[in-house]
Structure 1
Amino acid sequence: MNGSPKPKLLVLVGPTGSGKTEIAIQLAQALSGEIISADSRYLYRELNIGTAKPSPDELTRVPHHLINVTTLDNPWSLGVYQKATHQLIQQINLRGHLPILAGGTGQYIRAITEQWEIPAQAPEHQLRDAIELWGQRIGFDALHQRLARLDPEAAQLIDYRNKRRTIRALEVIFATGQRFSDLRKKSISSYQQLIIGIAWPRELLYERIDARIEAMFAAGLVEEVQELVDRGYAEALKRMGIIGYSEVLQYLEGQSSLEEAKQQMRHNTRVFVRRQANWFKPNDPKIHWFNATDPAVLAHMLDLIKATF
């Protein structure tokens, strides 16, 4: 040990629709911070309205990282994201700024804060193709159920709509003979880190989510998805299973009405919020939760952050 201080890391978590984008910007402005996105959907340049990605104006208010860095043709693995994030945390600290890891993708947050050692299993494309064909034959809901039998922990943390991650977990299990969750090793964090969370009463959160969904449709979500279909991305969107895009695809394919698509999107988002709670538990002692309805919530956050760093 050379006694040098650990790099600092502030982490902001919370369910979808909780206002993490604006809180992160305000914290960054007050703390000379730079925001690192921990939202798997923000990586992709083609996905904008349906992901509630920060607006161009919001992106100019403070430095943002890992937004619009790849395309649907080149999906990032967890390992690629983790490597890029670790590099950014070091670089931001060297600039004398505070890195703020903000987002709702629990797998991304944990991979950084718990220093996961990602399974090094190389892709086996024939096996992967075979699992995808299996899913097409039995249905991808049923495929996720097969994963739940083999590895309940992995299945609990992987959204059943995310075909790509379900297939990858099964691929690793079949190739190694070990559970996917057992191959994910944790180690002591190399950062001086503080994790804070935004908490909303559930009914108020659902009202915010419903309003945001309506705003997405008003802003042109259907047109955005239609453009992606026209560019040949329908299958890629189906594999990724992103809420908003999946429901609109069903509408565009004539499987539902527009109102049914909205209703399904509201339902699926509520399910997703409950799934996020598996990653960000209210009783997790590592997370300092703040009541979003408190008018002084930002000031209370800043008091804790300044006392910590």
Structure 2
Amino acid sequence: MKEKKKLIVIVGPTAVGKTETSITVAKCFNGEIISGDSMQVYKGMDIGTAKIRPDEMNGIPHHLLDIKEPEEPFSVADFQSVVREKIDEITARGAIPIIVGGTGLYVASVLYDYKFAAEPPDTAYRQALEKRALEGRTAELYEELAAVDPETARNIHPHNVKRLIRALEIYHLTGMKKSDKPKADAEPLYDTALIGLTMDRSKLYERINKRVDIMMNTGLLKEAKHFYDKGLRGVQSVQAIGYKELYEYFDGNLSLEEAVNLLKKNTRRYAKRQLTWFRNKMDVTWFDMTNEREHLNRINEIVQFIAGKLQIKSNT
């Protein structure tokens, strides 16, 4: 039987401390970091995606940053393909690949035996759905989705036409539900140490609010305005939290204060969804990072866990 490649994965909600932890882990195991964030692939979207700066990398190679123009799509199937190639390349160099990020479905697509349909989009089917929505028949679309994929329907607002159509299209093309994801006991394709960072919710929300304030103070408004002024709309990149709220301000629908408060609220909600997803869908070993004075001890525990799980020695 072919030996599985070794892989370290560090997941958790936004603002929990994944970047700092991953640098230490990479130094301990001769690691190279692969971003597991669906939006950090986009060039110029640095502040809003909390992208690591070159001066923070400590000489650790980082992959999947700035590989796409903001106008380009980047699907979970694209991510799966590129990351698996990177894992092969990094392993061939004698280093350990480390996926770090919070986009659960993207990370899971690499670890587990996900298959993505090769069929081209059914343009006529999509246009028919769009026509029905324009005719005010969105409720019908929601009822149809609820009939074939109730779990996804529960997580989509009945008036969110874009997501309704996408979910119906996936089912139409593949026969799979959008909610079809791996069970927590699924067998990973790699010899994986899967680590999750968590934190007391009130402390995490405090960190999120502070992070948004720092983003605003370091130029997020200017960054988002750059894309707005370029006319970048209706594409995947600017649907990211941090940009879509400020677009509402630029459009005159919200005051700046309202947009920033909405950004904080949406980020907190996203963090909650991230935690729920990882706990329900993946076999994660969790480490609580609430107590900052215990961070060093937690990271030492993480390093020991990885060494034992993957049967490798650390450099410390």
CA contact (8 A) 1:38 1:101 kept: yes
Q: 1:137 to 1:93 in 2, by over 3 A?
A: farther
Structure 1 residue 53: deviation in Å? 0.9
CA contact (8 A) 1:163 1:240 kept: no
Determine which structure has the larger helix proportion and give its number: 1
Structure 1 residue 159: deviation in Å? 9.7
Q: 2:31: which partner in 1?
A: 33
Q: 1:216 to 1:62 in 2, by over 3 A?
A: same
The TM-score with structure 2 as length reference comes to: 0.85
> Alignment RMSD, CA only?
3.1
Residue deviations 1:111-143 (CA, integer Å, cap 9, x gap): 122221123332223433554566677699997
Residue deviations 1:84-110 (CA, integer Å, cap 9, x gap): 111111111111111101100000111
Q: 1:305 to 1:185 in 2, by over 3 A?
A: closer
CA contact (8 A) 1:121 1:172 kept: no
Tell me which moved more, 48-57 or 8-17.
48-57
Cα distance in structure 2, aligned partners of 1:194 and 1:159:
36
Cα distance in structure 2, aligned partners of 1:110 and 1:117:
12
2:291 counterpart of 1:290: no
2:274 counterpart of 1:276: yes
2:306 counterpart of 1:305: yes
2:193 counterpart of 1:194: yes
Cα distance in structure 1, aligned partners of 2:136 and 2:242:
24
CA contact (8 A) 2:9 2:99 kept: yes
Supply the AA of the counterpart residue of 2:307. Answer: K
Q: 2:113: which partner in 1?
A: 115
Cα distance in structure 2, aligned partners of 1:82 and 1:146:
30
Q: Unmatched 5+ residue regions in structure 2?
A: 311-316
Residue deviations 1:188-224 (CA, integer Å, cap 9, x gap): 4321111011110000000000000001111111111
Q: 1:270 to 1:149 in 2, by over 3 A?
A: farther
Structure 1 residue 166: deviation in Å? 5.2
Q: 1:16 to 1:168 in 2, by over 3 A?
A: same
CA contact (8 A) 1:161 1:241 kept: no
The TM-score with structure 1 as length reference comes to: 0.86
Structure 1 residue 278: deviation in Å? 2.8
Q: 2:209: which partner in 1?
A: 210
CA contact (8 A) 2:249 2:255 kept: yes
Q: 1:205 to 1:73 in 2, by over 3 A?
A: same
Q: 1:126 to 1:53 in 2, by over 3 A?
A: farther
Q: 1:284 to 1:149 in 2, by over 3 A?
A: closer
Tell me which moved more, 214-223 or 286-295.
286-295
Q: Unmatched 5+ residue regions in structure 1?
A: none
Of the candidates 3, 6, 19, which is equivalent to residue 5 of structure 1? 3
SS at match of 2:234: helix
Q: 1:71: which partner in 2?
A: 69
Residue deviations 1:48-80 (CA, integer Å, cap 9, x gap): 111111112124631111111111222111111
Supply the AA of the counterpart residue of 1:209. Answer: I
Cα distance in structure 1, aligned partners of 2:52 and 2:160:
23
Q: 1:20: which partner in 2?
A: 18
CA contact (8 A) 2:117 2:174 kept: no
SS at match of 1:265: helix
